[in-house]
Amino acid sequence: MKTVAVIGLGKFGFYIAKSLSRLDVKVIAADNDEKKVQEISEYVDNAYIIDSTSKVALEEIGVYNLETVIVSIGENIEASILTVMALKDLNNKRIIAKAINSTHGEILTKIGAFKVIYPEKIAGRMLVKKLIDNMTVEEIDVSNTIKMLKFVATDNFIYKKISEIESEFENLKIISYKTGGIWSMQIDPFYQVKKDDLLVFLGESKYIKEFYKQI
């Protein structure tokens, strides 16, 4: 069973921990606020009151050598930074850290965060899906209004031709696909999507958002 740690149980962290608990995931939830820990303990078996900036405290609750840790500490930027540093020292692999502004995000990236998230831009539901699918879905901001979406072909697309898919989703454009380990930038409208192919779509954010719900 996959283990994911969620450090910081504000609204965003609480939602992530609760959502993951409904799936086949062992959740380790931690915060320095006793009330928040008590609330999440109704949903997860492993909830702890700790100072997450302490390597000793993190190690004691099992947050070391993990594949994925989510740091969702709120306004305390110092605690957020020190926590990420402690998690790196404990050999945690994918540290996904919440940032409250771009400067905070840049610092988190420089000290080793695998991915920096801004909750107002990325819904908790989408993050959970990415985690559980081992990052087979990736959303990339091209600009303020344009996004790319990369994902492994699901049953909705397998055996369909590129032209059929684009006709079905006329507001989006397939700009690349990967099959047999090879990326194709020259799109063949008659190519029939195979299992395990990677597809890359480009479109306006509002259409990508709606499309995401259907894949």
**CA dist 47 → 56, 92, 141, 176, 186 (Å):** 16, 19, 34, 43, 50
As given in the structure block, the two tokens for residue 62 are 């099992």
Q: Which amino acid is at 47?
A: A
Q: What is the pLDDT of residue 126?
A: 56
Spatial separation of the C-alpha atoms in residues 105 and 94, rounded to whole Å = 15
In angstroms, what is the C-alpha Rg of the chain? 19
Q: What is the pLDDT of residue 127?
A: 56
Q: How do residues 14-60 score in pLDDT, each as one tens digit?
A: 989 998 888 878 999 999 999 999 999 999 989 999 999 999 999 99
Of the pLDDT bands very low, low, confident and very high (cuts 50, 70, 90), residue 120 is low
Q: Output 47 or 208, whichever has higher pLDDT.
A: 47
Q: What is the CATH number of domain 2-132?
A: 3.40.50.720
Of the pLDDT bands very low, low, confident and very high (cuts 50, 70, 90), residue 206 is confident
Nearest alpha-carbon partner for 145 in 207, 214, 100: 207
Domain ranges of the chain: 2-132, 137-212
Spatial separation of the C-alpha atoms in residues 166 and 201, rounded to whole Å = 10
As given in the structure block, the two tokens for residue 128 are 């959970």
CATH superfamily of 137-212: Regulator of K+ conductance, C-terminal domain (3.30.70.1450)
CB 63 within 8 A of CB 87: yes
DSSP one-letter string for 95-133: EEEE-SSHHHHHHHHHTT-SEEE-TTTS-HHHHHHHHHT
The one-character DSSP state at 62 is T
